[in-house]
Amino acid sequence: SDVIAFEKAYCEYRLNRIENALKTIQSASQQTDKLKELYGQVLYRLERYDDCLAAYRDLIRNSQDEYEEERKTNLSAVVAAQSTWEKVMPEDLGLREATYELCYNSACALIGQGKLNEAMKKLRKAEAFFLFALIFLQDVTEEDIEAELAIIHGQMAYIMQLQGRTEDALQLYNQIIKLKPTDVGLLAVIANNIITINKDQNVFDSKKKVKLTNAEGVEHKLSKKQLQAIEFNKALLAMYTNQADQCRKLSASLQSQSPEHLLPVLIQAAQLCREKQHAKAVGLLQDFADQHPASAAEIKLTMAQLKIAQGSVTKACMILRSIEELQHKPGMVSALVTMYSHEEDIDSAIEVFTQAIQWYQQFQASRTRGAKPKSPVHLSLIREAANFKLKHGRKKEAISDLEELWKQNPKDVHTLAQLISAYSLVDPEKAKVLSKHLPSSDTMSLKVDVDALENSHGATYVRKKAGKLTGDNQQKEQGQGDVKKKKKKKKGKLPKNYDPKVTPDPERWLPMRERSYYRGRKKGKKKDQVGKGTQGSTTAGSSEL
Protein backbone atom coordinates (compact mmCIF):
# COMPACT_ATOMS: atom_id res chain seq x y z
CA SER A 1 0.00 0.00 0.00
CA ASP A 2 0.99 3.67 -0.18
CA VAL A 3 1.67 3.63 3.56
CA ILE A 4 4.84 1.57 3.10
CA ALA A 5 5.69 2.65 -0.47
CA PHE A 6 8.80 4.48 0.68
CA GLU A 7 10.00 1.57 2.84
CA LYS A 8 9.52 -0.93 0.00
CA ALA A 9 11.25 1.32 -2.57
CA TYR A 10 14.11 1.99 -0.16
CA CYS A 11 14.64 -1.74 0.46
CA GLU A 12 14.71 -2.37 -3.29
CA TYR A 13 17.19 0.50 -3.72
CA ARG A 14 19.53 -0.90 -1.04
CA LEU A 15 19.26 -4.38 -2.59
CA ASN A 16 20.39 -2.84 -5.93
CA ARG A 17 17.04 -3.58 -7.59
CA ILE A 18 17.01 -0.08 -9.01
CA GLU A 19 14.43 -0.65 -11.76
CA ASN A 20 11.99 -2.16 -9.25
CA ALA A 21 12.53 0.78 -6.88
CA LEU A 22 11.68 3.20 -9.70
CA LYS A 23 8.46 1.35 -10.47
CA THR A 24 7.47 1.35 -6.79
CA ILE A 25 8.03 5.11 -6.51
CA GLN A 26 6.14 5.88 -9.70
CA SER A 27 3.21 3.65 -8.70
CA ALA A 28 2.69 5.47 -5.37
CA SER A 29 -0.45 7.65 -5.43
CA GLN A 30 1.08 10.40 -3.31
CA GLN A 31 4.62 11.64 -3.87
CA THR A 32 5.94 12.54 -0.43
CA ASP A 33 9.17 14.45 0.19
CA LYS A 34 10.88 11.22 1.22
CA LEU A 35 9.87 9.53 -2.03
CA LYS A 36 11.12 12.53 -4.04
CA GLU A 37 14.50 12.34 -2.30
CA LEU A 38 14.73 8.63 -3.07
CA TYR A 39 13.55 9.27 -6.63
CA GLY A 40 16.54 11.56 -7.21
CA GLN A 41 18.94 8.87 -5.91
CA VAL A 42 17.34 6.21 -8.13
CA LEU A 43 17.60 8.38 -11.25
CA TYR A 44 21.28 9.02 -10.49
CA ARG A 45 21.97 5.28 -10.22
CA LEU A 46 20.14 4.72 -13.52
CA GLU A 47 22.37 7.44 -15.08
CA ARG A 48 19.34 9.51 -16.15
CA TYR A 49 21.15 12.71 -15.30
CA ASP A 50 18.81 15.24 -16.96
CA ASP A 51 15.78 13.92 -15.05
CA CYS A 52 17.86 13.70 -11.88
CA LEU A 53 18.97 17.33 -12.22
CA ALA A 54 15.35 18.46 -12.60
CA ALA A 55 14.30 16.40 -9.55
CA TYR A 56 16.96 17.92 -7.28
CA ARG A 57 16.24 21.44 -8.50
CA ASP A 58 12.60 20.93 -7.59
CA LEU A 59 13.57 19.55 -4.16
CA ILE A 60 15.88 22.48 -3.37
CA ARG A 61 13.27 24.99 -4.52
CA ASN A 62 10.44 23.50 -2.43
CA SER A 63 12.30 22.37 0.71
CA GLN A 64 13.54 24.26 3.72
CA ASP A 65 15.18 22.07 6.35
CA GLU A 66 18.60 21.03 7.69
CA TYR A 67 19.29 18.77 4.69
CA GLU A 68 19.68 21.56 2.14
CA GLU A 69 23.51 21.18 2.09
CA GLU A 70 23.20 17.45 1.24
CA ARG A 71 20.80 18.21 -1.62
CA LYS A 72 23.21 20.79 -3.07
CA THR A 73 26.03 18.25 -2.82
CA ASN A 74 23.93 15.70 -4.74
CA LEU A 75 23.03 18.35 -7.32
CA SER A 76 26.72 19.13 -7.88
CA ALA A 77 27.42 15.39 -8.23
CA VAL A 78 24.84 15.19 -11.04
CA VAL A 79 26.49 18.14 -12.82
CA ALA A 80 29.92 16.46 -12.46
CA ALA A 81 28.54 13.20 -13.90
CA GLN A 82 27.04 15.04 -16.89
CA SER A 83 30.37 16.77 -17.56
CA THR A 84 32.39 13.53 -17.22
CA TRP A 85 30.23 10.92 -18.94
CA GLU A 86 28.02 12.91 -21.32
CA LYS A 87 30.54 15.70 -22.11
CA VAL A 88 27.87 18.32 -21.39
CA MET A 89 29.11 21.81 -20.60
CA PRO A 90 27.79 22.35 -17.05
CA GLU A 91 25.79 25.44 -16.28
CA ASP A 92 26.67 27.64 -13.34
CA LEU A 93 24.20 26.71 -10.60
CA GLY A 94 25.57 29.31 -8.19
CA LEU A 95 26.50 26.72 -5.56
CA ARG A 96 28.80 28.11 -2.90
CA GLU A 97 31.73 25.73 -2.35
CA ALA A 98 31.51 25.78 1.44
CA THR A 99 32.24 22.05 2.00
CA TYR A 100 34.90 19.66 0.78
CA GLU A 101 32.24 17.53 -1.00
CA LEU A 102 31.13 20.53 -3.11
CA CYS A 103 34.78 21.35 -3.91
CA TYR A 104 35.44 17.74 -4.91
CA ASN A 105 32.39 17.58 -7.21
CA SER A 106 33.37 20.90 -8.77
CA ALA A 107 36.85 19.45 -9.47
CA CYS A 108 35.26 16.41 -11.14
CA ALA A 109 33.21 18.69 -13.40
CA LEU A 110 36.39 20.59 -14.37
CA ILE A 111 38.14 17.31 -15.24
CA GLY A 112 35.26 16.49 -17.57
CA GLN A 113 35.86 19.83 -19.34
CA GLY A 114 39.60 19.17 -19.60
CA LYS A 115 40.56 22.00 -17.21
CA LEU A 116 43.08 19.90 -15.31
CA ASN A 117 45.11 22.62 -13.57
CA GLU A 118 41.95 24.26 -12.19
CA ALA A 119 40.66 20.86 -11.11
CA MET A 120 43.88 20.14 -9.18
CA LYS A 121 43.52 23.46 -7.31
CA LYS A 122 39.93 22.54 -6.39
CA LEU A 123 41.04 19.13 -5.08
CA ARG A 124 43.71 20.73 -2.89
CA LYS A 125 41.05 23.12 -1.61
CA ALA A 126 38.75 20.15 -0.88
CA GLU A 127 41.58 18.44 1.03
CA ALA A 128 42.18 21.59 3.10
CA PHE A 129 38.43 21.90 3.84
CA PHE A 130 38.30 18.28 4.99
CA LEU A 131 41.32 18.59 7.31
CA PHE A 132 39.88 21.81 8.73
CA ALA A 133 36.50 20.13 9.34
CA LEU A 134 38.20 17.41 11.41
CA ILE A 135 38.82 19.97 14.15
CA PHE A 136 35.08 20.14 14.85
CA LEU A 137 34.43 16.39 14.50
CA GLN A 138 35.02 14.13 17.49
CA ASP A 139 33.73 10.68 16.53
CA VAL A 140 35.78 10.32 13.32
CA THR A 141 38.12 7.32 13.16
CA GLU A 142 41.42 7.17 11.30
CA GLU A 143 39.84 4.76 8.83
CA ASP A 144 37.18 7.34 7.95
CA ILE A 145 39.82 10.03 7.46
CA GLU A 146 41.97 7.80 5.24
CA ALA A 147 38.92 6.71 3.21
CA GLU A 148 37.86 10.30 2.47
CA LEU A 149 41.40 11.43 1.66
CA ALA A 150 41.95 8.35 -0.54
CA ILE A 151 39.11 9.45 -2.84
CA ILE A 152 40.59 12.95 -3.18
CA HIS A 153 44.13 11.63 -3.69
CA GLY A 154 42.89 9.10 -6.24
CA GLN A 155 41.41 11.91 -8.31
CA MET A 156 44.67 13.88 -7.97
CA ALA A 157 46.60 10.88 -9.31
CA TYR A 158 44.15 10.63 -12.23
CA ILE A 159 44.86 14.26 -13.16
CA MET A 160 48.62 13.58 -12.98
CA GLN A 161 48.13 10.62 -15.31
CA LEU A 162 46.18 12.75 -17.80
CA GLN A 163 48.98 15.35 -17.67
CA GLY A 164 51.58 12.71 -18.53
CA ARG A 165 53.13 12.58 -15.05
CA THR A 166 52.79 8.80 -14.93
CA GLU A 167 55.54 8.16 -12.36
CA ASP A 168 53.94 10.55 -9.84
CA ALA A 169 50.49 9.12 -10.55
CA LEU A 170 51.71 5.53 -10.12
CA GLN A 171 53.37 6.36 -6.80
CA LEU A 172 50.16 7.95 -5.45
CA TYR A 173 47.99 5.08 -6.72
CA ASN A 174 50.19 2.50 -4.94
CA GLN A 175 50.09 4.54 -1.72
CA ILE A 176 46.29 4.42 -1.77
CA ILE A 177 46.24 0.66 -2.40
CA LYS A 178 48.59 0.09 0.59
CA LEU A 179 46.01 1.81 2.83
CA LYS A 180 43.51 -0.94 1.85
CA PRO A 181 40.40 1.30 1.68
CA THR A 182 37.03 -0.42 2.07
CA ASP A 183 35.55 1.30 -1.01
CA VAL A 184 35.68 -1.46 -3.68
CA GLY A 185 34.74 1.06 -6.38
CA LEU A 186 37.75 3.26 -5.59
CA LEU A 187 40.10 0.25 -5.57
CA ALA A 188 38.73 -0.98 -8.91
CA VAL A 189 39.25 2.42 -10.57
CA ILE A 190 42.81 2.78 -9.21
CA ALA A 191 43.71 -0.79 -10.25
CA ASN A 192 42.34 -0.16 -13.74
CA ASN A 193 44.35 3.07 -14.06
CA ILE A 194 47.55 1.31 -12.96
CA ILE A 195 46.94 -1.31 -15.67
CA THR A 196 46.64 1.47 -18.27
CA ILE A 197 50.00 2.89 -17.12
CA ASN A 198 51.68 -0.54 -17.29
CA LYS A 199 50.26 -1.30 -20.78
CA ASP A 200 52.29 -4.19 -22.22
CA GLN A 201 55.01 -3.80 -19.57
CA ASN A 202 55.01 -5.15 -16.00
CA VAL A 203 52.30 -7.64 -16.96
CA PHE A 204 52.66 -9.65 -13.73
CA ASP A 205 51.69 -6.57 -11.67
CA SER A 206 48.72 -5.93 -13.99
CA LYS A 207 47.48 -9.49 -13.52
CA LYS A 208 47.51 -8.94 -9.75
CA LYS A 209 45.74 -5.60 -10.05
CA VAL A 210 43.01 -6.95 -12.31
CA LYS A 211 41.77 -9.07 -9.39
CA LEU A 212 40.75 -5.87 -7.58
CA THR A 213 38.41 -5.02 -10.47
CA ASN A 214 36.56 -8.32 -9.95
CA ALA A 215 35.65 -7.65 -6.30
CA GLU A 216 32.07 -8.29 -5.20
CA GLY A 217 29.79 -5.26 -5.52
CA VAL A 218 31.99 -3.32 -7.96
CA GLU A 219 29.22 -3.31 -10.59
CA HIS A 220 26.97 -1.34 -8.20
CA LYS A 221 29.63 1.28 -7.40
CA LEU A 222 30.75 2.33 -10.87
CA SER A 223 29.07 3.84 -13.92
CA LYS A 224 28.45 1.86 -17.11
CA LYS A 225 31.29 3.59 -18.93
CA GLN A 226 33.72 2.83 -16.11
CA LEU A 227 32.74 -0.85 -16.11
CA GLN A 228 33.04 -0.94 -19.90
CA ALA A 229 36.54 0.57 -19.77
CA ILE A 230 37.62 -2.06 -17.22
CA GLU A 231 36.34 -4.86 -19.49
CA PHE A 232 38.21 -3.39 -22.47
CA ASN A 233 41.42 -3.36 -20.45
CA LYS A 234 40.88 -6.96 -19.38
CA ALA A 235 40.67 -7.98 -23.04
CA LEU A 236 43.82 -6.01 -23.88
CA LEU A 237 45.67 -7.54 -20.92
CA ALA A 238 44.67 -11.01 -22.13
CA MET A 239 46.13 -10.13 -25.54
CA TYR A 240 49.40 -8.85 -24.03
CA THR A 241 49.74 -12.01 -21.90
CA ASN A 242 49.22 -14.22 -25.00
CA GLN A 243 45.88 -15.58 -23.77
CA ALA A 244 44.37 -15.62 -27.26
CA ASP A 245 41.20 -17.58 -26.42
CA GLN A 246 40.46 -15.39 -23.39
CA CYS A 247 41.03 -12.24 -25.46
CA ARG A 248 38.64 -13.43 -28.18
CA LYS A 249 36.03 -14.42 -25.60
CA LEU A 250 36.13 -11.03 -23.81
CA SER A 251 36.14 -8.96 -27.02
CA ALA A 252 33.25 -10.99 -28.48
CA SER A 253 31.27 -10.43 -25.26
CA LEU A 254 31.97 -6.68 -25.44
CA GLN A 255 30.92 -6.55 -29.08
CA SER A 256 27.61 -8.26 -28.28
CA GLN A 257 26.97 -5.68 -25.51
CA SER A 258 27.99 -2.67 -27.66
CA PRO A 259 27.70 -3.66 -31.36
CA GLU A 260 28.55 -0.16 -32.62
CA HIS A 261 31.63 0.33 -30.43
CA LEU A 262 35.00 0.36 -32.22
CA LEU A 263 37.28 -1.07 -29.53
CA PRO A 264 36.06 -4.71 -29.48
CA VAL A 265 36.62 -5.19 -33.22
CA LEU A 266 39.97 -3.37 -33.06
CA ILE A 267 41.10 -5.68 -30.23
CA GLN A 268 40.03 -8.72 -32.27
CA ALA A 269 41.95 -7.41 -35.29
CA ALA A 270 45.03 -6.74 -33.15
CA GLN A 271 44.90 -10.30 -31.78
CA LEU A 272 44.69 -11.70 -35.33
CA CYS A 273 47.72 -9.60 -36.33
CA ARG A 274 49.69 -11.02 -33.40
CA GLU A 275 48.85 -14.46 -34.82
CA LYS A 276 50.14 -13.31 -38.28
CA GLN A 277 46.62 -13.49 -39.77
CA HIS A 278 46.68 -10.04 -41.41
CA ALA A 279 44.28 -10.90 -44.25
CA LYS A 280 41.69 -12.17 -41.76
CA ALA A 281 42.10 -9.00 -39.67
CA VAL A 282 41.54 -6.78 -42.72
CA GLY A 283 38.45 -8.81 -43.66
CA LEU A 284 37.05 -8.45 -40.13
CA LEU A 285 37.54 -4.67 -40.23
CA GLN A 286 35.99 -4.41 -43.71
CA ASP A 287 32.85 -6.27 -42.55
CA PHE A 288 32.49 -3.91 -39.58
CA ALA A 289 32.96 -0.84 -41.82
CA ASP A 290 30.21 -2.10 -44.17
CA GLN A 291 27.81 -2.69 -41.27
CA HIS A 292 28.57 0.61 -39.48
CA PRO A 293 29.20 3.39 -42.05
CA ALA A 294 29.42 6.02 -39.27
CA SER A 295 32.62 4.43 -37.96
CA ALA A 296 34.00 3.51 -41.39
CA ALA A 297 36.63 6.29 -41.45
CA GLU A 298 38.48 5.12 -38.32
CA ILE A 299 38.24 1.48 -39.36
CA LYS A 300 39.62 2.22 -42.84
CA LEU A 301 42.55 4.11 -41.33
CA THR A 302 43.39 0.97 -39.36
CA MET A 303 43.02 -1.17 -42.49
CA ALA A 304 45.42 1.12 -44.35
CA GLN A 305 47.92 0.82 -41.51
CA LEU A 306 47.76 -2.98 -41.74
CA LYS A 307 48.31 -2.84 -45.51
CA ILE A 308 51.38 -0.62 -45.04
CA ALA A 309 52.72 -3.07 -42.44
CA GLN A 310 52.37 -5.82 -45.07
CA GLY A 311 54.19 -3.67 -47.65
CA SER A 312 51.09 -3.09 -49.83
CA VAL A 313 51.45 0.70 -50.08
CA THR A 314 49.33 1.09 -53.23
CA LYS A 315 46.42 -0.83 -51.65
CA ALA A 316 46.74 1.32 -48.55
CA CYS A 317 46.45 4.43 -50.74
CA MET A 318 43.29 3.05 -52.35
CA ILE A 319 41.73 2.48 -48.92
CA LEU A 320 42.66 5.99 -47.74
CA ARG A 321 41.23 7.61 -50.88
CA SER A 322 37.93 5.83 -50.27
CA ILE A 323 37.43 7.89 -47.07
CA GLU A 324 35.57 10.80 -48.66
CA GLU A 325 35.20 12.93 -45.51
CA LEU A 326 39.00 13.05 -45.05
CA GLN A 327 40.17 13.42 -48.67
CA HIS A 328 40.69 17.19 -48.42
CA LYS A 329 42.39 17.21 -45.01
CA PRO A 330 46.02 18.39 -45.12
CA GLY A 331 47.16 15.37 -43.08
CA MET A 332 45.51 12.93 -45.48
CA VAL A 333 46.90 14.77 -48.55
CA SER A 334 50.38 14.75 -47.00
CA ALA A 335 50.21 11.00 -46.24
CA LEU A 336 48.94 10.08 -49.71
CA VAL A 337 51.51 12.25 -51.53
CA THR A 338 54.34 10.77 -49.42
CA MET A 339 53.18 7.21 -50.11
CA TYR A 340 52.69 7.78 -53.84
CA SER A 341 56.13 9.43 -54.03
CA HIS A 342 57.60 6.34 -52.35
CA GLU A 343 55.95 4.22 -55.04
CA GLU A 344 57.19 6.73 -57.72
CA ASP A 345 53.59 7.31 -58.84
CA ILE A 346 53.86 11.07 -59.40
CA ASP A 347 50.66 11.33 -61.48
CA SER A 348 48.52 9.92 -58.64
CA ALA A 349 50.20 12.27 -56.14
CA ILE A 350 49.38 15.29 -58.33
CA GLU A 351 45.81 14.00 -58.69
CA VAL A 352 45.48 13.95 -54.87
CA PHE A 353 46.60 17.60 -54.74
CA THR A 354 44.17 18.57 -57.53
CA GLN A 355 41.16 16.92 -55.86
CA ALA A 356 41.90 18.58 -52.51
CA ILE A 357 42.33 22.04 -54.09
CA GLN A 358 39.07 21.60 -56.06
CA TRP A 359 37.23 20.68 -52.85
CA TYR A 360 38.32 23.93 -51.19
CA GLN A 361 37.38 25.93 -54.29
CA GLN A 362 33.87 24.45 -54.32
CA PHE A 363 33.53 24.91 -50.57
CA GLN A 364 34.53 28.59 -50.81
CA ALA A 365 32.21 29.16 -53.78
CA SER A 366 29.25 27.78 -51.83
CA ARG A 367 30.05 29.91 -48.76
CA THR A 368 30.96 33.29 -50.31
CA ARG A 369 30.05 35.51 -53.23
CA GLY A 370 32.60 37.48 -55.19
CA ALA A 371 36.39 37.33 -55.12
CA LYS A 372 37.52 36.88 -51.53
CA PRO A 373 40.90 35.75 -50.18
CA LYS A 374 41.38 32.02 -49.91
CA SER A 375 41.76 30.20 -46.58
CA PRO A 376 45.30 29.54 -45.24
CA VAL A 377 44.83 25.77 -45.68
CA HIS A 378 43.76 26.25 -49.32
CA LEU A 379 46.76 28.46 -50.09
CA SER A 380 49.17 26.08 -48.35
CA LEU A 381 47.86 23.19 -50.48
CA ILE A 382 48.36 25.24 -53.67
CA ARG A 383 51.88 26.14 -52.53
CA GLU A 384 52.76 22.51 -51.78
CA ALA A 385 51.26 21.35 -55.08
CA ALA A 386 53.33 23.89 -57.03
CA ASN A 387 56.54 22.97 -55.20
CA PHE A 388 55.88 19.26 -55.74
CA LYS A 389 55.32 19.73 -59.48
CA LEU A 390 58.45 21.87 -59.85
CA LYS A 391 60.50 19.33 -57.88
CA HIS A 392 59.48 16.56 -60.27
CA GLY A 393 59.98 18.61 -63.45
CA ARG A 394 56.30 19.33 -64.10
CA LYS A 395 56.77 23.08 -64.67
CA LYS A 396 53.98 23.34 -67.23
CA GLU A 397 51.47 21.87 -64.74
CA ALA A 398 52.76 24.13 -61.94
CA ILE A 399 51.99 27.36 -63.87
CA SER A 400 48.30 27.57 -62.87
CA ASP A 401 49.14 27.04 -59.18
CA LEU A 402 51.91 29.64 -59.25
CA GLU A 403 49.66 32.18 -60.99
CA GLU A 404 47.02 31.66 -58.31
CA LEU A 405 49.58 32.21 -55.56
CA TRP A 406 51.02 35.33 -57.21
CA LYS A 407 47.51 36.73 -57.70
CA GLN A 408 46.88 36.36 -53.95
CA ASN A 409 50.21 38.05 -53.09
CA PRO A 410 51.69 40.18 -55.95
CA LYS A 411 54.63 41.23 -53.73
CA ASP A 412 55.88 37.64 -53.41
CA VAL A 413 59.12 37.80 -55.46
CA HIS A 414 59.95 34.13 -54.88
CA THR A 415 56.67 32.93 -56.41
CA LEU A 416 57.10 35.34 -59.33
CA ALA A 417 60.60 34.00 -60.01
CA GLN A 418 59.24 30.43 -60.00
CA LEU A 419 56.46 31.48 -62.39
CA ILE A 420 58.94 33.11 -64.81
CA SER A 421 61.13 30.00 -64.69
CA ALA A 422 58.14 27.80 -65.53
CA TYR A 423 56.95 30.07 -68.37
CA SER A 424 60.48 30.21 -69.87
CA LEU A 425 60.04 26.62 -71.06
CA VAL A 426 56.46 27.00 -72.30
CA ASP A 427 55.98 30.65 -73.36
CA PRO A 428 59.21 32.75 -73.42
CA GLU A 429 57.31 35.92 -74.40
CA LYS A 430 55.07 35.60 -71.37
CA ALA A 431 58.16 35.09 -69.21
CA LYS A 432 59.66 38.35 -70.57
CA VAL A 433 56.46 40.25 -69.78
CA LEU A 434 56.37 38.88 -66.24
CA SER A 435 60.06 39.63 -65.70
CA LYS A 436 59.22 43.34 -65.87
CA HIS A 437 57.47 42.92 -62.50
CA LEU A 438 60.71 41.83 -60.87
CA PRO A 439 62.43 44.50 -58.77
CA SER A 440 65.43 46.22 -60.37
CA SER A 441 68.96 45.05 -59.62
CA ASP A 442 69.75 48.37 -57.89
CA THR A 443 67.05 47.83 -55.28
CA MET A 444 68.14 44.23 -54.72
CA SER A 445 71.94 44.86 -54.53
CA LEU A 446 73.49 44.61 -51.11
CA LYS A 447 75.83 47.50 -50.19
CA VAL A 448 78.27 45.83 -47.83
CA ASP A 449 81.74 47.04 -46.76
CA VAL A 450 83.71 43.80 -47.01
CA ASP A 451 86.77 45.09 -45.10
CA ALA A 452 84.65 46.39 -42.24
CA LEU A 453 82.81 43.06 -42.13
CA GLU A 454 86.07 41.07 -41.96
CA ASN A 455 87.49 43.29 -39.21
CA SER A 456 84.32 43.10 -37.12
CA HIS A 457 84.07 40.97 -33.96
CA GLY A 458 81.68 38.60 -35.70
CA ALA A 459 84.24 37.53 -38.29
CA THR A 460 85.14 33.88 -37.86
CA TYR A 461 87.86 33.66 -40.54
CA VAL A 462 90.54 36.13 -41.60
CA ARG A 463 92.81 35.48 -44.59
CA LYS A 464 96.50 35.64 -43.62
CA LYS A 465 98.99 37.23 -45.99
CA ALA A 466 102.06 35.13 -46.86
CA GLY A 467 105.28 36.68 -45.47
CA LYS A 468 108.80 36.41 -46.85
CA LEU A 469 110.93 33.52 -45.65
CA THR A 470 114.11 34.36 -43.67
CA GLY A 471 117.31 32.26 -43.76
CA ASP A 472 116.30 30.16 -40.77
CA ASN A 473 112.84 29.59 -42.18
CA GLN A 474 114.31 28.52 -45.53
CA GLN A 475 116.48 25.95 -43.78
CA LYS A 476 113.40 24.64 -41.98
CA GLU A 477 111.53 24.46 -45.28
CA GLN A 478 114.36 22.44 -46.80
CA GLY A 479 114.71 20.12 -43.85
CA GLN A 480 111.09 19.17 -43.23
CA GLY A 481 112.23 16.11 -41.30
CA ASP A 482 113.56 18.32 -38.48
CA VAL A 483 110.27 20.19 -38.11
CA LYS A 484 108.10 17.10 -37.61
CA LYS A 485 108.18 15.73 -34.10
CA LYS A 486 108.77 12.05 -33.67
CA LYS A 487 106.01 10.17 -31.95
CA LYS A 488 107.03 8.61 -28.67
CA LYS A 489 106.58 4.90 -28.47
CA LYS A 490 105.08 3.46 -25.34
CA LYS A 491 107.22 0.96 -23.46
CA GLY A 492 105.80 -2.52 -23.63
CA LYS A 493 104.88 -4.34 -20.44
CA LEU A 494 107.37 -7.02 -19.36
CA PRO A 495 106.33 -10.38 -17.86
CA LYS A 496 106.45 -10.71 -14.08
CA ASN A 497 109.17 -13.44 -14.12
CA TYR A 498 111.37 -11.52 -16.56
CA ASP A 499 115.16 -11.79 -15.84
CA PRO A 500 117.23 -9.11 -17.67
CA LYS A 501 120.42 -11.22 -17.35
CA VAL A 502 118.94 -14.14 -19.32
CA THR A 503 118.68 -13.83 -23.12
CA PRO A 504 115.05 -14.41 -24.18
CA ASP A 505 114.27 -17.38 -26.41
CA PRO A 506 114.10 -16.15 -30.05
CA GLU A 507 111.53 -18.86 -30.88
CA ARG A 508 109.21 -17.94 -27.99
CA TRP A 509 106.51 -16.65 -30.36
CA LEU A 510 106.19 -20.01 -32.18
CA PRO A 511 103.98 -22.84 -30.93
CA MET A 512 105.94 -25.50 -29.00
CA ARG A 513 105.61 -28.19 -31.67
CA GLU A 514 107.10 -25.83 -34.33
CA ARG A 515 110.25 -24.97 -32.36
CA SER A 516 113.60 -26.44 -33.46
CA TYR A 517 114.36 -28.07 -30.14
CA TYR A 518 110.97 -29.84 -29.80
CA ARG A 519 111.44 -33.62 -29.62
CA GLY A 520 107.91 -34.78 -28.92
CA ARG A 521 106.53 -36.44 -25.85
CA LYS A 522 108.52 -39.38 -24.41
CA LYS A 523 106.38 -42.49 -24.03
CA GLY A 524 107.76 -44.30 -20.97
CA LYS A 525 107.32 -48.04 -20.54
CA LYS A 526 104.66 -49.00 -18.11
CA LYS A 527 106.25 -50.60 -15.12
CA ASP A 528 104.57 -53.00 -12.83
CA GLN A 529 102.92 -50.93 -10.20
CA VAL A 530 103.43 -52.92 -7.02
CA GLY A 531 100.92 -52.35 -4.31
CA LYS A 532 98.55 -50.40 -6.51
CA GLY A 533 95.91 -53.13 -7.11
CA THR A 534 93.18 -54.53 -4.94
CA GLN A 535 94.16 -56.08 -1.64
CA GLY A 536 95.57 -59.61 -2.02
CA SER A 537 95.94 -59.49 -5.84
CA THR A 538 99.15 -59.98 -7.87
CA THR A 539 100.36 -58.16 -10.97
CA ALA A 540 100.46 -61.38 -12.98
CA GLY A 541 96.90 -62.19 -12.18
CA SER A 542 95.70 -58.69 -12.98
CA SER A 543 97.46 -58.68 -16.37
CA GLU A 544 95.74 -61.94 -17.27
CA LEU A 545 92.39 -60.53 -16.31
pLDDT digits (tens, 9 = 90+) for 179-188: 888 889 999 9
* φ and ψ at residue 138, rounded to 5 degrees: -105, -35
Q: How far apart, in whole angstroms, are the C-alpha atoms of residue 263 and residue 513?
A: 74
Could you give the C-alpha distances from 77 to 107, 147, 421, in angstroms and in order? 10, 18, 67
Percent with pLDDT over 90 in the chain: 26
Q: How far apart, in whole angstroms, are the C-alpha atoms of residue 369 and residue 373?
A: 11
If one compares 467 and 511, the residue with the highest pLDDT of the two is 511
Mean pLDDT of 197-201: 89
Q: Is the pLDDT of residue 203 over 80?
A: yes
If one compares 299 and 3, the residue with the highest pLDDT of the two is 299
Find the range with the poorest average confidence among 179-188, 375-384, 458-467: 458-467
Mean pLDDT, the chain, rounded, equals 82
Q: What is the tens place of the pLDDT at every residue in 394-425?
A: 777 777 777 777 677 777 777 777 777 777 77
Find the range with the poorest average confidence among 31-35, 156-160, 244-248: 31-35
Closest CA to 270 of 231, 296, 303: 303
Three-class SS of residue 441? helix
Q: Which helix (H) or strand (E) holds 164?
A: none
Q: How far apart, in whole angstroms, are the C-alpha atoms of residue 192 and residue 158?
A: 11
Region of residue 239 (left: phi > 0; alpha: psi -120 to 50; beta: else): alpha
To the nearest 10°, report the CA torsion of 11, 12, 18, 20. -140
Q: How far apart, in whole angstroms, are the C-alpha atoms of residue 444 and residue 347?
A: 38
Q: How far apart, in whole angstroms, are the C-alpha atoms of residue 400 and residue 398?
A: 6
Q: What is the tens place of the pLDDT at every residue in 79-122?
A: 999 899 888 887 777 788 888 899 999 999 999 999 999 999 99
Q: Is the pLDDT of residue 191 over 80?
A: yes
18 pLDDT band, cuts 50/70/90, is very high
Q: Is the pLDDT of residue 466 over 70?
A: no
Q: How far apart, in whole angstroms, are the C-alpha atoms of residue 177 and residue 310?
A: 44
Instruction: Decide: 415 and 409 in contact? Cβ < 8 Å.
Output: yes
pTM of the model: 0.67
Closest CA to 179 of 157, 205, 154: 154
Q: What is the tens place of the pLDDT at every residue in 223-242?
A: 999 999 999 999 999 999 98
Q: What is the tens place of the pLDDT at every residue in 117-153?
A: 999 999 999 999 888 888 777 777 777 788 788 999 9
**295, exposed or middle or buried, with CB in 10 Å at 0-12, 13-18, 19+?**
middle
Q: What is the tens place of the pLDDT at every residue in 434-461?
A: 777 777 666 665 667 777 777 777 655 5
